[in-house]
Amino acid sequence: METVSPHKRVVVTGLGAITSLGHNVGDFWANILAGQCGIDRVSLFDATDYTCQIGAEVRGWDAAQHMDPKEVRRNDRYTHFGFCAAKQAVADAALDMAREDPDRVGVIIGSGIGGMWTIETQHKNLLERGPRKVSPFMIPALISNMVGGLVAIELGARGPNFCVVSACATATHAIGESLRIIRSGEADVMVCGGAEAAITPLAYAGFCSMKAMSTNNANPQKASRPFDANRDGFVMGEGSGILVLESLEHALARGARIYCELAGYAATCDAFHITQPDPDGKGLSLAMSRALSDARLRPDEIDYINAHGTSTPYNDKFETLAIRKVFGDHARKLMVSSTKSMTGHLLGAAGGIEAVISVKAIQIGEVPPTINLETPDPGCDLDYVPNVKRRAQVRAVMSDNLGFGGQNAALVFRRV
């Protein structure tokens, strides 16, 4: 085992994304910069009787074009997204497993909810057709760790492999824990991120009952409006965002193309409420501060924050407060945007696609907008890059996410 170093440098060498705005990173990034919105009427089920009837679905997607059709039938929709996005990321990294030590390649891909489609369809089978008609693949299809297991089988990767489940902070935690594993010397390469497919009747019924989702059904593409005074709840999305991380030494030794460095990570808890963020932003501000410290960066060295920005009354205001606490006077100079205005909220996969966006912002030097920001909320008074992308020098980016249960996570990416 290599010598443990808490500041071993870790870099991003591969990206994968499947979203409502594109089935690959190139299409996704182009549509994000263009301010396109992937939200429309729900087509995956009849949402007529629901208070929220809109979502950011992955349309025109055929998993059988990207994985064994037999495995498609055996696995849940969320697994299809995560497995195929991971294949993209590994290909993008030009990772050749024939040249790797399989014991030093790991996988951490999380899901906040897991196989909701499987749970609902198999429960219907049980009620309507009896226990003998429940699929023998039900259990492996619904559990949240199955993406990581399938990716490891595909790659032959025998390194650290487990699933993070922390609601909407899941993928950010998965990426951060992968950073720690590489730093510890347990692995050279980690495939990490999140996958989610919870646009289902039961999931929508639950979130609608909580009154957490937007009811702006008449204007789907205007419904997700983070930091806007007229926001009325989040809009659900689905898909997956995956990164390939490597130690800098390993990436250089194999001649890998390096996007940027993943320099910092922190995880905290509000210890306040099961669904509502701490109104003083204590837990989130602590996560941000610790991530900066871990990255050995000052607050004024961050140029852009990809915010959690859910378009809910509580989150956007309290997240803004946390940013002001951590960044002080520099908060006014920061570019902050919520790309959930375009992608919807991918729950456990949100941090995965937002990490992809953060990496691309550094690579390309463009910051995506917060669309639908038309009536600024007086309590949300930062530069949210309203409606139009911005060309800028992006040296370092923070991406943060919050989850039910009070869980917070923050990542810091920087130029190499």
Point out the residues that are catalytic.
168, 308, 345
Q: How far apart are CA 275 and CA 215, in angstroms?
A: 19
Structure tokens given for 365:
């030097």
**CB neighbour class for 408 (10 Å; exposed up to 12, middle 13-18, buried from 19):** buried
Task: Tell me the backbone φ, ψ of residue 280, rounded to 5 degrees.
Answer: -95, 0
Q: What angle do CA 199, 265, 311 make, to 5 degrees?
A: 35
Closest CA to 243 of 291, 294, 172: 172
Paired sense of beta strands 40-41 and 54-55, if any:
antiparallel
Structure tokens given for 254:
């194999």
Residues forming a β-bridge with 189: 105, 246
User: Helix, strand, or coil here: 401?
Assistant: strand
Tokens 């870790």 — which residue?
A: 10
- The answer to whether residues 217 and 45 touch, using CB atoms and an 8 Å cutoff, is no
Q: How far apart are CA 410 and CA 288, in angstroms?
A: 6
Q: How far apart are CA 372 and CA 60, in angstroms?
A: 25
